[in-house]
């Protein structure tokens, strides 16, 4: 394991594990105001990769609900609550986890919304009920969103991206076999462990996830447009090109 590289990367332990756990490598404090973002877009559009790049550049912590569920997968059966087991079963099939489970998980991690580095929420909210709940939570905590980034990509490209996607089981970094290969074989650049293909990137789960996106998540575009928070970003080309477009769009954020 590459310990030096691990040290550089914030470990997001407070978010991934919840409870009283603190981040051993907290995200660095940004020079200006912290940005608080929601990343929207279909599965496979590259939200996770953009969240990592935003974290490197702006310091904002990558808060992915999918990563919390994937972390919970490595717990033993006895350590998991029935709600968590149920959530993992939904996830395996590519279905959305029930709102109450997701909201309980986010509410347990409220302190991450106060992170001094700001945050980019990736994969949450995913339904109108979740978006309304987030709005209430942020109001209650005296916080507001800087922007909502809506990443867009044609369906054929999304399918190709999902087929080549690989993730690190330790730090959750996302790679792609051709577009974003790791430096060494099949191993994570940060942790050195073997990269894995996500169970829900299999074709049968991908179909279910795309349908869930169309039905439940797409309506959030209008929800945030009405609140004047929506910024649309074309997600084609390399991750760096998309990131460049992202920075151009959010460069003027307060
Ligand atoms: P992601 O990594 O964001 O693609 O999430 C992987 C899977 O976790 C999804 O397909 C869902 O099964 C579950 N999941 C993650 N976030 C949410 C959410 N906000 N609402 C419902 N299900 C979620």
The residues that are catalytic are: 47, 126, 165, 198, 209
Structural domain of residue 17, as residue ranges? 13-153+227-250
Residue 2 forms part of a structural domain: no
Atom of ligand 1 nearest to the CA of 126: 19
Any atom of ligand 1 within 6 Å of the Cβ of 130: yes
Residue for token pair 């608080």: 36
| Separation CA 111–CA 137 (nearest Å) | 11
Strands 118-122 and 147-152: unpaired
Task: Tell me how crowded residue 49 is: count the other CB atoms within 10 A of its CB.
Answer: 25
Q: Rounded to the nearest whole angstrom, what is the distance from the C-alpha of residue 248 to the centroid of ligand 1?
A: 28
Residue 231: the pLDDT is 97
Q: Rounded to the nearest whole angstrom, what is the distance from the C-alpha of residue 97 to the centroid of ligand 1?
A: 7
Any atom of ligand 1 within 6 Å of the Cβ of 97: yes
Q: Rounded to the nearest whole angstrom, what is the distance from the C-alpha of residue 123 to the centroid of ligand 1?
A: 6
Atom of ligand 1 nearest to the CA of 95: 12
Residue 196 forms part of a structural domain: no
Q: Which two tokens stand for residue 178?
A: 């051709």
Domains: count for the chain: 1
Residue 72 forms part of a structural domain: yes
Residue 69 forms part of a structural domain: yes
| Separation CA 169–CA 198 (nearest Å) | 10
End-to-end CA distance of the chain: 39
CATH number at residue 103: 3.40.50.300
Atom of ligand 1 nearest to the CA of 64: 3
Angstrom CA distances, 136 to 60, 141, 144, 146, 224, stand at 21, 9, 10, 16, 14
Ordered per-residue pLDDT tens for the chain, 254 residues? 344 444 467 788 899 988 888 888 777 777 778 999 999 999 999 999 999 999 988 889 999 999 999 988 888 877 888 888 999 999 999 999 999 999 999 999 999 999 999 999 999 999 999 999 999 999 999 999 999 999 999 988 998 889 899 999 888 888 999 888 999 989 999 999 999 998 889 888 888 999 999 999 999 999 999 999 999 999 999 999 999 999 999 886 65
Give the residue from 12, 44, 18 showing the smallest Cα distance to 217. 44
Choose one of 39, 126, 207, 213 to mutate for the ligand 1 pocket test, by most ligand atoms within 8 angstroms of C-beta. 126
Using an 8 Å Cβ cutoff, are 49 and 151 in contact?
Answer: no
Residue 252: the pLDDT is 64
Residue 179 forms part of a structural domain: no
| DSSP one-letter code for 215 | I
Q: Whose CA is nearest to atom 10 of ligand 1?
A: 94
Residue 253: the pLDDT is 67
Residue 122: the pLDDT is 98
Q: Which two tokens stand for residue 26?
A: 């907290």
pTM: 0.89
Residue 192 forms part of a structural domain: no
- Residue count of the chain, please give it: 254
């Amino acid at each position: 394991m590459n310990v030096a590289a691990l040290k550089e990367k914030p470990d997001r332990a407070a978010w991934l594990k919840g409870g009283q756990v603190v981040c051993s490598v907290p995200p660095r404090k940004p020079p200006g105001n912290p940005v608080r973002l929601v990343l929207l877009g279909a599965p496979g559009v590259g939200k996770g990769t953009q969240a990592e790049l935003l974290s490197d550049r702006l310091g904002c912590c990558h808060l992915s609900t999918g990563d919390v569920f994937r972390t919970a997968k490595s717990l033993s059966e006895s350590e998991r609550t029935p709600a968590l087991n149920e959530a993992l079963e939904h996830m395996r099939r590519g279905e959305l986890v029930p709102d109450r489970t997701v909201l309980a998980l986010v509410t347990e991690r409220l302190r991450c919304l106060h992170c001094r580095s700001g945050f980019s929420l990736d994969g949450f909210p995913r339904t109108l009920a979740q978006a309304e709940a987030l709005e209430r939570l942020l109001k209650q905590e005296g916080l507001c969103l800087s922007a909502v980034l809506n990443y867009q990509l044609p369906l054929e490209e999304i399918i190709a991206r999902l087929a080549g996607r690989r993730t690190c089981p330790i730090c959750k970094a996302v790679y792609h076999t051709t577009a974003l290969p790791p430096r060494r074989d099949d191993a994570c650049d940060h942790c050195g462990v073997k990269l894995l293909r996500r169970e829900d990137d299999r074709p049968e789960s991908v179909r279910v996830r795309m349908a869930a996106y169309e039905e439940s998540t797409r309506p959030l575009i209008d929800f945030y447009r009405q609140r004047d928070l929506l910024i649309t970003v074309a997600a084609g080309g390399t991750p760096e090109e998309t990131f460049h477009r992202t920075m151009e769009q959010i460069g003027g954020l307060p």
